[in-house]
Amino acid sequence: MSLAVETRALTRRFGDVLAVDRLDLAIPEGEAFGLLGPNGAGKTTAIKMLTTLLPPTEGHARVAGHDIIRDAPAVRRAIGYVPQVLSADGSLTGRQNLEIFAKLYDIPRAQREERISDALDFMGLGEAADRSAKTYSGGMVRRLEIAQSILHEPQVLFLDEPTVGLDPVARAAVWEHIRRLRAEHGMTVILTTHYMEEADLLCERVAIMAKGRIAALGTPAELKASVAKPGATLDDVFAHYTGNSLESGGDFRDAARARRTARRLG
């Protein structure tokens, strides 16, 4: 079995705060994998290390076969990343946003136009390609950001809270496009989310993090069975392993960031 992501004792400290504590993961190629947990559990910190945005304090990790420290440029060429923060420019059209990313990814000039058109069409944005991105709905903005991240045909796609702030219709549209990415391109997808329904529908396996560690790992069905509650949901699993309800956790800054994200996508 080939692994898209492998971590061994991956650790990150911020001063006295242990954000990620000896994380061990093995994610096969082509899998949809979810990282769940309350705010402050270490999900985004783990993603930032795996995408080379943050160096680990200790431990090792390989993404698409490349070491995140020794082969960081190769890792970046092999991945796509959609962060929580806005990565599209509202003053540009959808097509112009993708043109910038095509240059950043060093896509050969002769291939750019076709790649950009294909990505826009795949994400259902072909008809809106030449409209200013500031006129897009929240779901369209998120789909544009995913289109940006897949222009270079990455092996692994990281999605950090991909549907936060979206209404149910827009969320379902993003889910459908994520499913198509996996079905048509065999892409490995790793996402963080607070939406248990999202994890249940999209992910083959889920890891629940609490205080920087993996508290539980398995398929959604396995995790539901592990709490020994008739009709258990992932919400029940989350509460069981983290001691938190979905509404708890985080601080003022977390709440402010979530509301800013909701406003710009809403």
73 compared with 244, residue with greater pLDDT: 73
What is the predicted pLDDT for the residue at 166?
Answer: 87
pTM value?
0.88
pLDDT tier for residue 266 given thresholds of 50, 70 and 90: very low
Instruction: Round the average pLDDT of the chain to a whole number and report it.
Output: 90
Whether 139 contacts 173, CB under 8 Å: yes
136 compared with 85, residue with greater pLDDT: 136
pLDDT tier for residue 194 given thresholds of 50, 70 and 90: confident
- The residues pairing with 10 across neighbouring beta strands, listed in sequence order, are 23
**Tens digits of per-residue pLDDT, 22-65?**
999 999 999 999 999 988 899 999 999 999 999 999 999 999 99
**C-alpha to C-alpha distance for 109 and 128, rounded to whole angstroms:** 23
